[in-house]
A = this chain, B = another copy of it.
Amino acid sequence: MYALEQKILNEGIVLSDQVLKVDAFLNHQIDPVLMQQIGKEFAARFKDTGITKIVTIEASGIAPAVMAGLELGVPVIFARKYQSLTLKDDLYRSKVFSFTKQVESTIAISNKHINAEDKVLVIDDFLANGQAALGLIDLIHQANADIVGVGIVIEKSFQPGRDLLLEKGYRVESLARVASLTNGQVTFVIE
């Protein structure tokens, strides 16, 4: 997605060979117009798949997921990383290990808002090692719902997440695919 790649080149900061910081438009400050374009792009790529729900994870997945939900006309559920006091329903839970933060956390969604009739699109901001996406997929499986695919804003293609998801049979649509971050330079996968 050209507009996203340009934004990454102009405002992304390469912190290391592994870490791309996009706090200027996605992970801390959010560019709502770009989010709308991203929502439209996800909707276009998945439009004929009968999606009934989008599932994402707090906090940075919410903006792109809600814009996709608006375009597709479906509700969005964001998995919580911590159980809040007002989320007392029976929960589906999964463990997710973050390589970036080197911590394991529990993610959860309520069993009230998803069921076996749902066809779910998983959306997340980044795909690196695939652990967050696999955690979300695990939650959706617990609900016996179908998974239509995984929509990713920025994929780090040099990390194993994409292949892990493809090997398990999931469709992966990443709007920007970063081939490398070496020498402080962002290069994209040529498709």
Instruction: Using CB atoms and an 8 Å cutoff, list the residues of chain A in contact with chain B.
Output: 15, 19, 21, 23-25, 27-33, 35-36, 58-59, 62-63, 65-67, 69-70, 73-78, 80, 84-89, 100-101, 109-110, 112-113
Collect the chain B residues with CB atoms within 8 Å of residue A88's CB: 15
**CB-CB < 8 A to A78: which residues of B?**
28, 30, 59
CB contacts (< 8 Å) of A113 on chain B: these are: 23-24, 28-29
Shortest A29–chain B CB gap in Å is: 4
- Residues on the B chain within 8 Å of A59, using CB: 58-59, 62, 78, 80
- Whether B35 pairs with A80 at a CB distance below 8 angstroms is no
A27: chain B residues at CB < 8 Å are 86-87
